[in-house]
Amino acid sequence: MKFENVLISNEAAIATVTINRPLKLNALNKATIKELHHALNDLDKDKSINVIILTGSGEKAFVAGADIAEFAHYSAKEGGKLASSGQKLLFSFIENMRTPVIAAINGYALGGGLELAMACHFRVASHNARMGLPEVSLGVIPGYGGTQRLPQLIGKGRAMEMILTAGMIDAAKAHEYGLVNHVVELEHLMDLSIKLATKISENSPKAIGYAIKAINAGFNTSENGYEAEIEAFGKCFGTSDFKEGTSAFLEKRKANFPGF
């Protein structure tokens, strides 16, 4: 499938997905959200891909926000539909993918851009990154999961302050808050992301998929995280990855996981 706003490249078991709207600072519109869904869905089904890195084109922005011009004249009903469809199609979709997605934040991650980064399984950032949810300055609130994921990641009080002041924080503060795992110079951002992705790709893809599911269950009020962990743990025993991993350990060799 050919994409207008998304670029995809593969290196070994690692895929890089780049949001490519540099003239709009990679702002998310409905077309880009759909393209990202299709690209990520295809990669999640690809047995040769173990990790995905998500980033933005250029050196200024990961995603500078949603494309405000597209919804500035929406009604209340249209606004609700926009948030519902976007969350289902992309943000919640990424969070529940079996393939881990690393957000490589290369500049501004604002509004929908920060929400996109928070939907990923973890985040690394360049020193020039700036993050925030400025929606209340436009008379609206975050609609792609920001009011839920930000408190989970940094705590209720800090999230309240960020959302209610509509302010930005720099990469150092984001690291201090636990919003991002690592901060590096821009020129080293992809190198670090690939290094982390490579380390992940050496492990069992099936176990990683189950781990993601179990961790997410702990943040879902309708699920019991411990029960989800027990169920996922048990299922691991029935996989070829478990047989290979334990055999390799006992035989004192490096595991060669067959994957999905």
Q: Where are the domains of the chain?
A: 6-201, 205-250
35 is catalytic: no
Confidence band of 106 (pLDDT split at 50, 70, 90): very high
User: Could you report the per-residue pLDDT of 117-147, keeping only the tens digit for each?
Assistant: 999 999 999 999 999 999 999 999 999 999 9
Higher pLDDT, 109 or 249: 109
Q: Which fold has domain 6-201?
A: 2-enoyl-CoA Hydratase; Chain A, domain 1 (3.90.226)
Q: Which of 95, 115, 161, 185 is catalytic?
A: 115
185 is catalytic: no
User: Could you report the per-residue pLDDT of 186-238, keeping only the tens digit for each?
Assistant: 999 999 999 999 999 999 999 999 999 999 999 988 888 889 888 888 888 89
CA–CA distance from 128 to each of 26, 61, 174, 187 (Å)? Answer: 16, 9, 12, 11
Q: Which of 70, 78, 95, 135 is catalytic?
A: 135
